[in-house]
Amino acid sequence: MSEQEMSRRTWLASSAAAVVAGAAGGAATMTLASSPAAAAEPPVRLSHRRAAAFKRRVDAAQAERDLPLPDIDSNGDEDSLPRFVGVYAKALPHNALGEPSVAAYHALIAALNSGAPAAFEQIPLGGVVKLANPQAAYAFELEGADSHHLAMAAPPRFASAEEAGEIGELYWQALTRDVPFANYATDPAVSRAVADLNGFSHFRGPKTRGVVTPGTLFRGPTPGDLVGPYVSQLFCRDIPFGATTIPQRYTTATPGGNFLTTPATWLNAVVGGAPAAPLTFDPVPRYLRSARDLGEFVHRDFSYQAYLSAALILLTFGPGALDPANPYLTATRQAAAVTFGGGALVELLARVSMSALTSAFFYKWLVHRRIRPEEFGGRIHHHLTGAASYPIHSEILSSEAVDEVFSTYGTYFLPQAYPEGCPTHPAYPAAHAVIAGACVTVLKAFFNEAFVIPNPVVASADGLTLVPYTGPALTVGGELDKLASNVAIARNGAGVHWRSDGIEGMKLGEAVAISVLTDRANNFNEPFAGYSLTRFDGTTITVGG
């Protein structure tokens, strides 16, 4: 063995002994030099480090604990409407009208109130599909706010004018599912949708000077949503993915494929039966150019897929696209890697996705249990055919959208883009939207929102090519907001969520991310002024620092 190797092994052994002694409570020290020949550095006393790490964790936990408790209220539909007809009940046994078994619903509530794992195994099911993870509502998080400690407004009530406006929008989204976004300005179905939605007294979608237009139709609520093409640039550009590049052309569903428009297929889905028909696909991959395309993307994506892709794209824009507070923009002898670099970014996207899901599932299962649009469409059908009577607002009953669906299918059910219909968990908030809000907030924290995206493009009407976009400048901040809305509203376009599920879900995800970023910002060695970002409501904040 060489003298150099003996020296290296002696140094490693002494370092290991120091770590063991420190873990055992001793006062051992370890030199930070990487080899015996390196310059001596001030020693780190491991017992002191252990105490400092403990204090930081305790301080973070106490700060979260000491925040005011939120006011958490449901919209009251569960208690005010008979036979639980105004709340989520998919996968439970139902009668022929699609009304849930009262006994089965009570079993669900008993399990949710107790939180006992065995109680969930006693809930009666109506078919082969299982309930989606209700026990996620009880999971704890060890970074950022607890899922039960973030505020969220109650959704619109079953009989309200706002609910009527939301379901009216969903019927029109179903009727225009195959219209290319590039054709919205001239498409007659879009014109009818615009005229009809302007007749709803409490429609909450974006407007121009108080009026819904083809340029605002089905868009999100932020200023960035209304600038440029419907689809975010971060859904268009090629993705640099390690040693390869991925064009954003996706497998899409065959146009015209709509489901659950008959009493039998609708009821089969509501009780949790296996889909009666398969989904068919276009053999030609396409750029996302219609609501059906976006709906199929969010049918098969993984939780933070869109935001991982966005991060990889934004990192190619160079230092000018990074947040000005990044300390490595001014460092002359160091580069970001473990902290403030791409590795930190992609890890954090995955991290906040999990917190977003636990927060979403807390509100879904333990608070709101909001009815899915699929079930609400059944209430409209049975009400209008005289099979039942429900307190549905008159504005949707007289909507042209409902009449057009009846003219096409002979029923009033809300046409679904997925053969299985909605997932087997309650509607509010949309999990996709909460993840979108969280991940986009992280991306805003890492990047310069004012950076103008170079060479913007838009998908052609057939989705086969990208063509240059000419118009107002598209900024990173605006296109990130648009990306979040594209994902959230894509679930609405498929028929499985409401507008407020998405918009309020994005806000909840934003709060999740801010709480995690707050914890992270207090743990860096680098001088750091804090993460600066623009919230979805347009206000600017600095987190940490």
Q: Write out pLDDT tens, residues 366-409.
A: 999 999 999 999 999 999 999 999 999 999 999 999 999 999 99
What does the pLDDT look like over 133-187, one tens digit per residue?
Answer: 999 999 999 999 999 999 999 999 999 999 999 999 999 999 999 999 999 999 9
Q: State percent of the chain over pLDDT 70.
A: 92
Angle at 172 between CA 170 and CA 174, to 5 degrees: 70
- Taking alpha carbons only, the member of 122, 120, 82 closest to residue 100 is 82
Give CATH superfamily name and number for 77-497+518-543: Vanadium-containing Chloroperoxidase, domain 2 (1.10.606.10)
Domain ranges of the chain: 3-65, 77-497+518-543
Would you call the peptide bond into 429 cis, given omega within 30 degrees of 0 as the criterion? yes
Q: For the chain, what is the radius of gyration of the CA atoms?
A: 26
Average pLDDT over residues 499-508: 98
pLDDT at 522: 86
Cα 351 from Cα 52, distance rounded (Å): 24
Q: What is the mean pLDDT of the chain?
A: 93
Average pLDDT over residues 299-308: 97
Count the neighbouring beta carbons within 10 Å of the beta carbon of residue 87: 22
Q: Which residues contact 453 (CB under 8 A, 6 or more apart)?
A: 233, 317, 473, 474, 475, 476, 479
β partners of residue 416 = 259
pLDDT at 285: 98
Average pLDDT over residues 79-93: 98
Cα 355 from Cα 513, distance rounded (Å): 8
What does the pLDDT look like over 401-434, one tens digit per residue?
Answer: 999 999 999 999 999 999 999 999 999 999 999 9
Q: What is the pTM of this model?
A: 0.92
Q: Is 35 exposed, middle or buried (0-12, 13-18, 19+ CB in 10 A)?
A: exposed
What does the pLDDT look like over 311-332, one tens digit per residue?
Answer: 999 999 999 999 999 999 999 9
Average pLDDT over residues 199-205: 98
What sections of 282-372 are H helices per DSSP?
A: 291-300, 305-314, 342-362
Q: Which residue has the tokens 């301080």?
A: 59
Cα 12 from Cα 9, distance rounded (Å): 5
What does the pLDDT look like over 13-44, one tens digit per residue?
Answer: 343 333 333 333 433 333 433 444 444 445 56
Structural contact between residues 181 and 229, judged by C-beta atoms closer than 8 angstroms: yes
Parallel, antiparallel or unpaired: strands 457-459 and 244-246: unpaired
